[in-house]
Each structure stands twice: as C-alpha cells, then as structure tokens.
C-alpha cells in the first residue's frame, strides 16, 4: 500500500512537535525515518497509525484520503505500529498479550495461538515462554513479542519505532531478513531508527526530520556525513579513545550464584576497578540484567558474596548499596527510573533537595533550569517527564545521578538515543570513570561496547565469560559468543 | 435421615448466593477499570425497589427486573461521572452509597414488614434424591443455581472468550488496549452497567429469597455491599476465587454461630469479626510466592522442580487491574 502524509501539523500545547511534514512511502519498500531525539518521529508515526490526530494535514492510502479517529481505524486499513516503549499488558501472560488484538472469533483458541507464537518465535530465533508474565521480561523481549504479534495480525503497513534497541545482533539479522521479505511481498515498512548503519543496510529511502520539520530525503548510496548534517544541522566528530588507568578494586564478586524464576546465573567471579568501564553483552534474558540487579542490591544472591570498596554487602538492603555509592540506572525509564506525573523540577528536588523541609520553588526552578541546560534536555522545568521524548528522558535520568558515585550500573544507557546524544552520554560516562567511578554497562549495540568499554563480559543462558579486553575483540567474535558459539563446557 | 448439619451447609449456600452474584458483578466492573463504590447503597435500594415492585405487581420476575435496573442505573451514574465527566470514581461512589441507603430506608418505609412474594425452592428432579448432595445442592432456590451459573459464565467469559480478554486488557492498561483498536470508554461503560445490574439482582435475591421481606434498617443488609467490595479484592478480581471467598466467609459466619453456644466465655462480637482476619490470612497465603525467603528456599531444589514450584506460586498470586480507577483519555 502506498502511504502519503501531506502537510502534517501537530502541537502539544505550546510544543510544536510537527510543522508541515510530508512523507511518501511506496508500497513494497522499506522507508527509514531519521531524526534527533524529540524531532517528532514518534509523533508522526502515531498520527499515521491513528493513535494521535493531526491538527492539520491529510493522509492518503493508495491515493485515497482517509481519516483515522482511533488506532482501530488504522488497524482496519492494516496499519500496525510497534511502539518505542512497548505498549503491552505487563501483568498478563505472553500468550494473552499475543492473542490480544490478533485473534478474531468469539472463543479464544489458546492452542492455536501458542503454536503460532512458537512458530514465529522460532523463525526469528526469539525465546519467549508463552506462560511467562510480561512484566518479568526485559524491554527487548517485550519488543520481540509485540513484533511477532503485529506480524501475526497480517499488517499491510508496518511501522517500527526503534525496534532494534532491545535485540541482539543475530536476532537483528533475522528481523532484517523478515522485513525484506515483507517488503518483497508488497508490504510497506516504515523503520524509525537512530543507527545510520541500519539505514544503510536496510532502507530503500530515508526521510530526515529536524525539530519537527522536514530536513530532507535521501536514497542510496547514503553518505553518513550528509545524513548527520541533515539531522543535526552540523557534522559531529567522534571523541578519541583514551586507555583507562584502572585503580583500586571497587566491586568484587566471588562465587556468586543467583537466579529468578526462569534462569540460574552462575558462578560469577569478577573484579571491577575504579576508572574502568565493563561492558555486558548477551541476548536479552541471558543473565546480564540479573547480575546488574544483584550488584545494585535489588536481588539477593543465592550464594557467594559481593563487596563494594572492601565492604561486604551480601544480603544487605538496597539502601546499604546506595550508601556505598552504588547507583543503578534501569532500562525501563518510565517504570523504574522516573515518576510519571512529576515534573523535572520535582525530580531534581527528590534527588538534590534545595533547603530543608520547605521547598523554595523559585530556587528549585532555577536549579532545574541549570541542570536542564547542563544536560541539554529538551524540556522545561515544568514539563512532566512522560511528555519528554525518549532521548530526553534518558538525559534526565543521567542528570539525576547522585554524587559521589563509586559504582555506576547502567542498563542500555543509550537505548533510543540519537548519535549526538549517545556520544554525549558516553562522554559523560567516560568522565565519571576518569573521576574514579567503576562502571558496568549493558548494551545490545556491540559496536558501541567495543568502542567505549575497556573490558567486556558475555552472557549466555546464565553462563558468564571471563572479562575480555575490548581492543582485542571484533564485533563478529562477540556476536558469535552471544549466539552461544565458542563456549567451553 | 439427613443430618442436621447438611441443612446448615445448604443454608450457607443460600446466604452466599446474593453475595456471590454481587462479587461477580463488581469483579467485572473493576476488571474493566471502574470501581463501583456505590455498591452498598445500590444493593439496598435495588432490594427495596425489587421488593416493592414484587409486592405491587405480585410478580417476582418483575421485582427482580426492577432491582436489576436500579443497580444498572446506579452504576451508570458512577460510570458517567467518571468516564464522561472525569470525576473521581471514589468520591461519586461513596456519595451514591450513602444516598442509596438513605433513599432505600426513606422510600421503603411503606413496605416495611409487610408480607410479599418469596422465591420458593426448586428441587431438581432425580438429582434431589441423591443422599447428602441432594439436600445440599439440588433442593435449593433458583437464586442459588443462578449464582453458580453466573460464576461459571463469568469465568468462561473472562478467560475463554475474546471479549473477555478485551475486558481484562482494558482494566490492565487502557492506553495499550486503545492502541489495539479497543473502544475503551464504551467497553468500560458496558461492564460497569452489567456489573451494576448483577449487583441490583443480588440485592433483590437477598430480600426476595434469603430474607423474605423488606424490614428497613433491620433487614441486616447494610454493610453487605462493603463486604462484597472487600471479597472482590480477596478474590483477586477472579470470579471463581471470589465465589470461594464468599463461601469461606459465609461458612465462617455460620461456624461461629454454631460454635458460639459451646463457648459462652467468649463475647459474641468475637465470633462476628473472626471471619475477617481469617480472610486476610488466606490472602497472605496466596501471595506467598513473592516473599524472598520462599524464593531462597526454593533455590535449593533441582532446576526443573524449582521452575514448577515457582510457576504454581506465581499462578496463585493476585494483583489488581493496573488501570483500576484510572482515567483514560482517547486522543
Ligand atoms: N504527549 C505529549 N505531550 C506533550 N509533548 C509531547 C508529547 N509527546 C511528544 N511531545 C513532544 O513532541 C516533540 C516530539 O516528540 P517525539 O516523541 O515525536 O520525538 P522523537 O523524534 O520520537 O524522539 P526520540 O528519538 O527521542 O524518540 C518532543 O519535543 C516532545 O517533548
Ligand atoms: Mg520516538
């Protein structure tokens, strides 16, 4: 189906999210949508799927003007969207989530749905337990589930809002193959991403947005420099690599075994020194998030011990870890990191109170303004955190890091961030390391891990590799290990 | 000869029937995300109107119909105030709860203590002659059978049909349901009204069957609505568990009456409140799987058995519909 959006405008109160944006996507093509954080990509796609209504402008499908009052209308025309933050039902089972919206008929046929789910999952190499509750899964797995559901729904126009942020390299290759196949079948695919190499690999055409306006279009062969200029209005340069100078051990893990209801992680022996950045790689749910949460003091290990700066914290409550200077920045921004319904100022007040019991709002506002500027957040002190674009939420999370911090644990710190913001975040992290903090970072972007981390450990099904020197590794080697090759025993 | 206690137990079923129906009604409503706090008032008003209608027309069916409509109407007010006017469900529900009760007592005074029609037993042929089970289950009044049917139907609806899945999803996360093409507000209206209708029916069942007449404030009905609300929560928003909650509650109440004469030293109030802490204890047991020490203890088991144990504990766990009482605006 040929999709045309013409002269779309959309404002949220004073924020002009989209101004005069037009987009044409031919049937049977994969169309990329690029743009910095807050450029309006998600807003544009929500309008196309019927989730939001434009203030002005029209949508044409195969040349016919259509008007969507709700996503139900969009779905009727076969337009389905994979949302950036999975829009699913956390307390329900994977199977229920899968069936919701893609089953018709009065009776639920669980057996059939389960078979369909398992078949699709096998096709992609995803490992999803139909009975597991969705809130026990990682964001990446939830995205996988949503993707499978949309495919099952028989969508004609598939919108993917940053679908690759939560899946590993081998799974991404599978996904790309499927998208290409869908396009060959005549389906229309719109692919929102921040990663230029994905655009190069996959997209037949790309549209770039900048600050709510159309910045341009491009067709292959793409020039990454040119795309970056279109996105940011200027070119960027990569920071140079500086070798780390590891100092005292900050985190010592000995003989650790931990687990949750489906995975057993063990045994881990690891020492992280100050000034060092350790990257954790692995498919979603291989144990890296579990280790992170054990180190953060959120999950108690079954066996073994954890010392932070020489103090044994095994079995101690979360606040003891906080006191020891351990800070955990979770991936699930809106559920675990930020508080919906509170403004930026209020968030900063929670972490850095100005004054005593009474809040001096004027000073608080000025303080918030300062931090907003320092961390380059696109928003006002009064902005509710849930109204920030994904990238800006991530910046806000980093702005909330309390000092002094000795051990910084980050899950997907650059998930959903544009190139510039990712570079900026890594620069911040490097700075933290140089000031003596030890960092552990989970990321599904192997290149970024290799580029910025000093050592890397790989997880596979609860097994943990020895730390490996990042400079001696290649992406291919890493991808192999993540997929389970080259493990002893 | 049928032993005495069989009749006692059969009485427990009769006493439980209206509560079971009301719990299912409230469960449906809350699953869709609407808390109908007016329950207590709605049940009283529906019961009174149902009785009055039955007396005036001489028809039990019309009495039940009138009560059902009153219940639906009260729920419609709550739904309208919260879904359309975007007012607090809690505040509106509380006010209606008080209003309904006072209205019932005021309007019902002419019908107090007058004779009226009453639902009679409806023994089921053949089955009624079974030993023990016959007098216990198959010589009951129609409302008891209906209460069982309502529970089974609600369970099938919620967990075996597609509209039921939609219902659970709407209460869980309305924005996501909306994203999948569900008309959230309409669904919420529908279930709120359906739930209210069941609550109204339950009110009529209480008076026209269990009590057999309207006695105003001494009908012993005031407070039942609050218990229903509590049991809806104990039941984990699950119709079958809710029904068992009601049965447990009714059984404990009956037991405390049975035991009371043999323990004269204990004040009777104790017997009246004992069922409540016992219910809370039951709830604690179902949420055992969340406790860290349980997980630690289970970690010693071999892998496959550990998973099984976790799964069982997990399935026992309850959590409220996440979208309960939350407003949702469709863009
Ligand atoms: N519900 C909302 N209320 C108010 N402002 C909003 C809302 N949704 C988005 N915005 C604003 O609209 C602008 C565009 O946001 P959008 O989410 O479309 O950006 P994006 O390009 O998807 O960014 P990202 O790459 O970070 O996901 C941002 O400035 C954002 O703050
Ligand atoms: Mg976005």
Which of B177, B311, B319 is nearest residue A91 as measured by Cβ atoms?
B319
- Residue ranges, comma separated, of all CATH 3.40.50.300 domains in chain A are 3-232, 249-482
The set of residues, in sequence order, having a beta carbon less than 8 Å from that of A453 and lying 6+ positions away, is A277, A278, A279, A441, A470
Unique residue bearing structure tokens 């290409």: A180
Cα of A421 from ligand 1 centre, angstroms:
15
Highest-confidence segment of A35-44, A239-248, B156-165, B277-286: B156-165
Q: What is the distance between the alpha carbons of residues A226 and B185, in angstroms, rounded to a whole number?
A: 47
Instruction: Give the pocket of ligand 1 (CB within 6 Å).
Output: A 12, 15, 17, 35, 37-43, 84, 378, 387-391, 416
Q: Which CATH number is associated with domain A249-482?
A: 3.40.50.300
Residues from A in contact with B at Cβ < 8 Å: 51-53, 70-72, 74-76, 81, 83, 87-92, 96, 99-101, 103-108, 131, 133, 259, 261-262, 264, 300, 302
Mean pLDDT score, B223-245: 89
What's phi and psi for B300, nearest 5 deg? -75, -20
pLDDT above 70: residue B1: no
β pairing state of A79-82 and A64-66? unpaired
Mutational test site, ligand 1, from A387, A419, A425, max ligand atoms within 8 Å of CB: A387
Mutational test site, ligand 1, from A9, A10, A11, A15, max ligand atoms within 8 Å of CB: A15
**% of chain B with per-residue pLDDT over 90:** 50
- Alpha helix ranges (H) inside A18-128: 41-48, 71-76, 94-99, 110-124
* Residues A264, A270, A276: CA angle, nearest 5 degrees: 130
Contact state of A87 with B175 under an 8 Å Cβ cutoff: yes
Mean pLDDT score, B247-267: 84
- Note the pLDDT of residue B95: 94
Contact state of A100 with B299 under an 8 Å Cβ cutoff: no
Higher pLDDT residue, B209 or A334?
A: B209
- Model ipTM? 0.83
B126 touches chain A (CB under 8 A): no
Residue pair B233/B282 in contact by the 8 Å Cβ criterion: no
- Note the pLDDT of residue B48: 95
Q: What is the distance between the alpha carbons of residues B132 and B9, in angstroms, rounded to a whole number?
A: 11
- Note the pLDDT of residue B331: 63
Q: What is the number of the ligand 1 atom nearest to the C-alpha of A390?
A: 26
Mean pLDDT score, B301-326: 77
Mean pLDDT score, B182-201: 96
pLDDT band at B289 (very low <50, low <70, confident <90, very high): low
Which residues of chain A are modeled with pLDDT < 70? 166, 239-242, 244, 261, 334-335, 488-489
Q: Which of B65, B35, B67 is nearest to B192 (CA)?
A: B35
Residues B96-113 pLDDT 10s: 999 999 999 999 999 988
Which chain B residue's Cα is nearest to A101? Answer: B180
Domain ranges across chain B: 4-316
Q: CATH: 3.90.1200, 1.10.3470, 3.30.519, 1.10.10. Which one for B4-316?
A: 1.10.3470
- Cα–Cα distance list, B240 to A181, A309, A355, A360, B275 (Å): 46, 53, 53, 53, 19
Q: Which fold has domain A3-232?
A: Rossmann fold (3.40.50)
- Note the pLDDT of residue A294: 93
Q: Which of B11, B203, B211, B244 is nearest to B104 (CA)?
A: B203
For A294-326, letters b (16+ CB in 10 Å) and e give bbbbbbbbbebebbbbeeebbebeeeebeebbb
- Note the pLDDT of residue B94: 93
Residues of chain B positioned with their CB less than 8 A from the CB of A75 = 180-181
Which of B162, B168, B177 is nearest residue A105 as measured by Cβ atoms?
B162
Residue whose CA is at the smallest distance from ligand 1 atom 24: A37
For residue B227, the number of C-alpha atoms closer than 13 Å in the C-beta half-sphere is: 25
Residues of chain A positioned with their CB less than 8 A from the CB of B169 = 89, 92, 96, 100
As a dihedral over the C-alpha atoms of residue A296, residue A298, residue A303, residue A305, rounded to 10 degrees, the angle is: 30
pLDDT above 80: residue B291: no
The chain-wide mean pLDDT, for chain B, equals 87
Contact state of B169 with A103 under an 8 Å Cβ cutoff: no
Residues of chain A positioned with their CB less than 8 A from the CB of B166 = 100
Mutational test site, ligand 1, from A18, A35, A43, A344, max ligand atoms within 8 Å of CB: A43
* Distance between A133 CA and the closest CA of chain B, angstroms: 9
pLDDT band at B168 (very low <50, low <70, confident <90, very high): very high
Which chain B residue's Cα is nearest to A102? Answer: B180
């Amino acid at each position: 189906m040929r999709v045309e959006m013409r002269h779309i405008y959309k404002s949220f109160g004073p924020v002009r999210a989209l101004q005069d944006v037009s987009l044409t996507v031919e049937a049977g093509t994969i169309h990329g949508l690029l743009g910095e954080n807050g450029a309006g990509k998600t807003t544009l796609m929500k309008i196309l799927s019927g989730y939001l209504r434009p203030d002005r402008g029209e949508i044409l499908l195969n040349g016919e003007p259509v008007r969507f009052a709700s996503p139900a209308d969009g779905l009727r025309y076969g337009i389905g969207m994979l949302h950036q933050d999975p829009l699913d039902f956390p307390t329900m089972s994977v199977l229920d989530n899968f069936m919701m919206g893609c089953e018709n008929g009065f009776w639920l046929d669980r057996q059939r749905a389960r078979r369909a789910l398992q078949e699709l999952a096998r096709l992609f190499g995803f490992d999803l337990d139909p009975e597991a509750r969705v809130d026990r899964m990682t964001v990446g797995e939830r995205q996988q589930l949503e993707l499978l559901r949309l495919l099952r729904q028989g969508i004609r126009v598939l919108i993917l809002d940053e679908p690759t942020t939560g899946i590993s390299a081998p799974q991404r290759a599978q996904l790309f193959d499927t998208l290409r196949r869908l396009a060959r079948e005549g389906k229309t695919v719109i692919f929102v991403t921040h990663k230029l190499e994905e655009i190069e690999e996959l997209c037949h055409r790309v549209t770039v947005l900048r600050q709510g306006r159309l910045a341009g279009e491009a067709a292959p062969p793409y020039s990454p420099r040119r795309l970056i200029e279109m996105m940011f209005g200027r070119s960027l340069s990569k920071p140079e690599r500086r070798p780390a100078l590891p100092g005292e051990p900050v985190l010592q893990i000995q003989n650790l075994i931990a687990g949750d209801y489906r995975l057993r992680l063990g045994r881990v022996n690891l020492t992280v020194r100050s000034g060092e950045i350790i990257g954790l790689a692995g498919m979603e749910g291989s144990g890296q998030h579990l280790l992170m949460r054990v180190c953060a003091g959120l999950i108690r290990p079954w066996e073994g011990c954890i010392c932070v700066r020489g103090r044994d914290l095994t079995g101690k409550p979360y606040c003891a870890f906080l006191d020891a200077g351990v800070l955990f920045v979770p991936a699930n921004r809106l559920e675990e990191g930020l508080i919906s319904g509170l403004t930026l100022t209020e968030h900063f007040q929670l972490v850095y109170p100005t004054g005593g019991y009474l809040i001096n709002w004027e000073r608080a506002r000025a303080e918030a303004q300062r931090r907003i500027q320092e961390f380059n957040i696109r928003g006002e002190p009064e902005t509710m955190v849930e109204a920030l674009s994904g990238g800006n939420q991530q910046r806000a999370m980093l702005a909330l890091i309390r000092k002094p911090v000795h051990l910084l644990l980050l899950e997907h710190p650059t998930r959903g961030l544009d190139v510039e913001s990712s570079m900026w975040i890594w620069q911040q992290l490097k700075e933290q390391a140089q000031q003596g903090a030890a960092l552990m970072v989970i990321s599904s972007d192997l290149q970024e891990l290799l580029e910025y981390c000093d050592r890397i450990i790989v997880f596979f099904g609860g097994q943990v590799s020895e730390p490996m020197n990042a400079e001696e590794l290649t992406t291919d080697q890493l991808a192999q290990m993540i997929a389970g090759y080259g493990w002893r025993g | 000869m049928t032993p005495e206690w069989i009749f006692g137990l059969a009485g427990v079923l009769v006493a439980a029937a209206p509560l079971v129906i009301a719990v299912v009604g409230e469960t449906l409503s809350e699953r869709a995300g609407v808390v109908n706090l007016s329950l207590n008032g709605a049940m009283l008003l529906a019961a009174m109107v149902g009785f009055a209608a039955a007396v005036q027309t001489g028809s039990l069916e019309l009495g039940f119909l009138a009560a059902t409509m009153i219940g639906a109407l009260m729920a419609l007010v709550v739904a309208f105030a919260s879904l359309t006017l975007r007012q607090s469900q809690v505040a509106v529900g509380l006010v209606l709860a008080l209003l309904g009760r006072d209205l019932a007592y005021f309007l019902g005074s002419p019908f107090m203590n007058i004779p009226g029609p009453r639902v009679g037993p409806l023994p089921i042929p053949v089955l009624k002659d079974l030993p023990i089970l016959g007098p216990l289950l198959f010589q009951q009044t129609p409302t008891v059978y209906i209460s069982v049917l309502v529970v089974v139907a609600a369970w099938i609806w919620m967990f075996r049909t597609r509209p039921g899945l939609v219902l659970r999803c709407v209460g869980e996360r309305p924005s996501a349901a909306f994203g999948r093409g569900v008309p959230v507000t309409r669904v919420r209206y529908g279930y709120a009204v359906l739930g209210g209708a069941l609550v109204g029916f339950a009110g009529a069942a209480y008076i026209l069957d269990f009590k057999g007449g309207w006695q105003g404030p001494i009908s012993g009905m005031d407070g039942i609505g609050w218990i229903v609300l509590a049991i809806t929560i104990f039941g984990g928003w699950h119709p079958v568990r809710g029904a068992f909650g009601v049965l447990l509650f009714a059984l404990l109440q009956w037991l405390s009456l049975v035991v009371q004469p043999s323990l004269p030293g204990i004040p009777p109030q104790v017997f009246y409140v004992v069922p409540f802490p016992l219910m809370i204890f039951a709830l604690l047991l179902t949420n055992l799987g969340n406790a860290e020490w349980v997980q630690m203890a289970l970690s010693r088991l071999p892998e496959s058995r550990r998973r099984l144990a976790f799964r069982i504990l997990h399935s026992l766990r309850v959590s409220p519909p996440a979208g309960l009482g939350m407003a949702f605006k469709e863009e």
